[in-house]
Structure 1
C-alpha cells in the first residue's frame, strides 16, 4: 500500500512550536512513490522525535494517529500500544490514573473533543511511577483545519516543572520575608534569613554581615549551620578588608568564580571557590559560597538578589520603626514637659493626644487629661467679652469648620475653686495627602499673670499720664511728644507759647498737617531719621515761622518721639558777639606777637655784639649776665612764636582731609631724629588709622607729645608707645566724648611713656597757656605746647586728656574723627 506524508507547522499564541507530519494510505501504485514526501516525512519525524515537547496527533474520530518519544517519556506509555486507540479510552484507562488532578483533566480534554472548535490551554500534574517522573505539564491543543486529519486535533505538552518549583520556592521565600518583617531586631532577622537561604534556596554556605557604624566593621549576624561547620567562627571585616568590604562600599554585587584568585581574598587558603557577595544597602552584605567553581546559575543569583533586596527593605523598616519609636517617645516626653497645654483632636473633635498642663493649673489633679473641646464641654469657659463659650464655638471647632488656623484667642477659665484665669489659645489644622482635615492641634498658655500685669500697667499708665502732664507743665523747655504717626500726644505750656497753639488744639493732630512748612524743612528728615535709627538727635535751627533760633533734642522710642526745644536766640546773638570779640583778640594777639619780634631781635643782636666786641674786658660774671639776657630774649621769642601759632589755629588752619597717622608719625620721628638718637629713645608705634583733619596741625600735636615724652623721661631710657582704638559706642569709655556722643565714628590715639609722671592735681593746669610744672633749669619749654595741642584737637571736634601719676609715666589720649569714606 502506498502512503503519503503531509506536514504542517504547529503554531500557538503567535509562536512556532514545531512541525506535525501525517502519514496516510493513497490509492495509487507503490511503484510511483513521491520521494519529496518521503523526505519531508523523515525530516518532520526527526524534528518531532528530538523536540522537548510531547505531541499527540488525533484524527477526526479522536483516535491517536501519532505520538513522539517525549510523550512516551512524560506519560510512561508505549507508542505501539497507543497509536490507533481512541484517545478517550486511553485517558480513562491509562493517563487519568497517572495524574494528580485526573477529574479536571478529563473534563477539560473531553470538552475539546465534544466541541472541536477552540484552542485549549491548562496545566496538569503527572505523578511519579516506575515508568515516569513526577512533573508539571502545560497542555496546549487546537483543531486541525486541513489535510487528511482535518477535523482532528493536535495536543502539545510542555514540561513546566522548573517553573512550578521556582514558583513554590518564591512562595516559600515570600513567607520567609513576612517572617523577617515581623522581626524586632536586625540580628534576629539576619539569623532567620541565613537559615532560610539554606533551607529554601539550597545555598548551604552563607552568612549575613551587618555594618557597625561605631567600629566601622562588618560583623557576622547570621550564618548557616554548614558555614559554622566549615569555618567555625566567622570573621569580622574591618574597613577595606576582603571582597565583602569592596562590595559594601561600591553597593554593587560581585560573583567570583575562583575566590582564591581575587586580589581582595580574605583568606587565600579558604575552601570556598565560588563566592556571591550581595550588598544590603547601608546595612551590610550577604555572602554565599560553594567549594565548587562556577557553582551558581542565573536562578541562584536572581533569588539571592531577592533575598538581599528584601533584607534591605526589612532593615530599613526596622531602622525607621526604631526612629519613629524614639521620636514618639520624645514627643510624649516633650508633650508632658511642655510649659503650655497641648491638645490633638481628630476631624470628629475626639481627643487623640493631650497633656494636663491647663488642668493642673485650673482643675482637679485626679481628673483625666482633657482635650480642648472636652475641656470646654466640662468646665466653665468664657470668651474675652465674658460670654459663656460653647464647644462648637471653641478654637478647634472653628478650625474644623473653616479649615483655617486660629491664633491668640483669649478665653477665661473658671477653676474648681471659683477663681478665674486667662488662657491664650492657638489652633492649627493638619491635612492628609488627599487634602482632607485629619487633625487639629491646639496650644493653650496661661496668661493670667500677663493680663493682671497688663491691667496694672494700664492703671499705672493712666496715673503716669496724669503725673507727666503735671511734670511737662513745669519743664522750663518747650516739650511735645508724637506717636509713630506723628500725632501730638503731649504738649506742655512752654510749647504752647512758642508754637502758638493750645494743647487741646494740637493733641491728636498730625504735626505735618498743623505745620505744613515743617514737612519741607530739615525737621521732617531728622525726625524720620531718629525714628528709623532709634538714636537721639540734637541740633540748632532757625525757624522762619517763629522767627527764633531753636535748640532741638529729639529722643525716639518704638512708640513715638519726644521733642525738647528752647529759644536760644539770645544765646546765639551772644555767641556771635563773642566770636567777633575772639576774632579781634586773635588779630590783636597776632599783631602783638608779630610786632614784639623786632625789638627782641634787636635786643638779642646788640647783646651778641657787646659779647663779641667787649669779650676781652668782660669778666665771667659779665659774660654770664649777657647769656642770661640772651637766653631770656630767646625764650621770649619762643613764647611769642607759640602764642602766634596758638592764635592761628582757627584762622590759619588748612581744610580737613583724610590723614594717614602712620605717615604723620613717621614724619615726626624724622623731625626728632637727633633728639631720639641723643636720648636713645625706644618708640613703638602700633597700627594707626586714617583720620579726618588738618595734616600740618596734627603733625604739630604728635611732635609736641613725643617731644614731651622724651623730655620728661627722667634718668632712664625713654620708652614710648603709640596706639589707637576705634570708638563707635559712646558708652564704651566715659572719656570718649563729643564725637561718639554725636554718633560719629572716632579714634582715640594714645601716646604713653614711662617717665616721671604728673600729679593728678595738675592734669588740668598743664593745658593752660604758659603753665609749666618745672623750672627752666630742669626742663626746656615755653609752657604753651600742650595748650596748643588742646586747641588743635578741639578744632577737630575732639579732646585731649592725660592719665598719669608721679613716677608711673603718662598717657596722653587724643580723640579724632575717623576719616570719611
Structure 2
C-alpha cells in the first residue's frame, strides 16, 4: 500500500462522514492527514488548521499526557490502544481508540463529557447515599430472594451485635428468635411474588428481648427491572411504644382518679388572645357535679361568667389569671352560695404548660366547710380558755400570793407551837400555786401551733435539762437532728418529761433522747417504767402517782404534742423503763 492510500480511502467513504465519532488520520510522524466533520466540530478547529501539523503542534497541551503515551505506543507496537482523556484546553472528556497500520494511525474519539459528568454526579449521589445509609440511626438492609442479607447498615447490624461486614450472608433464622421468623419470611415472599411494598408495625424478638419495629419493605429490582430481593427500613419504636403504654396507663389512672376522687376536680381550657386569656370549662368530675349541682353538659365550653354570673365569675377569672401569670400552682379559699347553702372551698389551681404556653388549668376544690366550722369553734374555745387563764392569772393568783406572803410572815413571827398548823397551810398554798401555774400552761400551750421554726433538738434538750433539778441523773442524746415546732412550747414538753423521770426513777436515772423509725422521736429512761394498764390514764389532767404532784405534767405534754399535729404514746424501753414516743414529727434532716 502506497503512502496516502488510507487518506484517499477515508475521503472517498461517505459512510465515514456520516458516523457520529470524530475520526482523524495521522501519518508516521503524527501529522494530521484527515479530519472528518465530526472531529472538526468536536475539536473546534478547522480542518485546514490541522492538516500537515503534528498533534503536539496543534495541541501543545497533549505533550506529556496519556494521549502522547498511547499514540506512541500504538505506533511502536502496532497494537490497538484505548483510553479516556480530559482535554484541558477544550475542557472536554474524550473516549479515544487508536488503530495502527503501516501508514500511520487512525484515531476514533467520542465526546463523552456529558457521560463523565453524569458518572461524576452519579458517583457523588452514590457517595451521599452510602454515607446516609451507613450513618443513619435507622436500620436499613437488602436481602436476596433466598433470604440472605446482601447489605446491612451499622444501625441494623447493631441490633444483632454484629458489624455490617459480618452481617452480610446471614439469614433471619440466625438473627431473630424462632417465633419471629415465620412472619418475616411470609411477608418477604409476598413482596417478591407480588412485586409490591408492605408497611406494618411488627413485633420481633432478638435474644429474648421484645422489639417493636415500624417496617417499610419494598421489592428490590435489578438493572432489567426483575425482582431480585427485598429492601427494608425498620424504625425501632420500642421506646416509643413503651412510652405510649405508660401514657395509656397514666391516662387510665388519671381517669380513675378523676372519676372517683372525693375532691371536686375541673378542667379549664385557656385561649390566649392579644388582650387577655379566655377561660372555658371543659370537664367536671362526678364529685364536683354532686357537690355543686352542675354537670359537664351545663358548663362545657362556657366561661366562668357565663356559668357563675358576672360578680362571682369575675372573681374566678381573676384567680385563673393569677395562675396563668404565676405559671405555677396557687391555692386559695373561696365561699360559694349553692342551692344547699353557703359552702367554703379550698381550691388549688395548677397550669398545664405546653411549648412554653399555658394551655389548660386543672383545678381541685375541697369542701372545707366543716373544717372551717371546727376551726371557728376551736377559736371560740381558745378564746374561752384565754378568758379562763386571765381569771386564774389575775383574780386567783393575786389573792393566792397574798395568802402565801401572810403565811410566810406568820411562820417567822409565831412560836414553834403554831408551826404544826402553819406548815401544812404553807404547803397547801404552794400546791395551789403549782396547780395554778400548770393550769395556765395547759390552757395556753394546747392551742394549735401557727408560728414554728427549725429547732436543733440537741440545743433544745440541753437547755431544758439545764432548767430542771436533776440531782445525779444523766442525759444522753443518741441522735442529732432538726425538727420544726414552737420552741417555747416544746420546752415545757422536755422539761416535764425530765422532771417525771427524776421523780419516778430516782436521782441517778439516765434519760436518753433520739430518733425512732421514720417520723418519730423518743424520750426514754432506765427507771421502773409505767404499767401498761395505766399508760392512757397518765395523760389525763390531775392524774399523778408522785407525792405533791399536780397531775398536769403529762397532760401538758400531750396537749402541746397535739397542738403540733403529733401523737404521743407510752411504751416499754428496750432495756426497761418508760419510753415516750412522738409520731408525726417528720424530722428535717432526711
- TM-score, scaled to structure 2: 0.49
Higher relative contact order (CA 8 A, sep 6+): 2
Q: Which has the larger radius of gyration?
A: 1
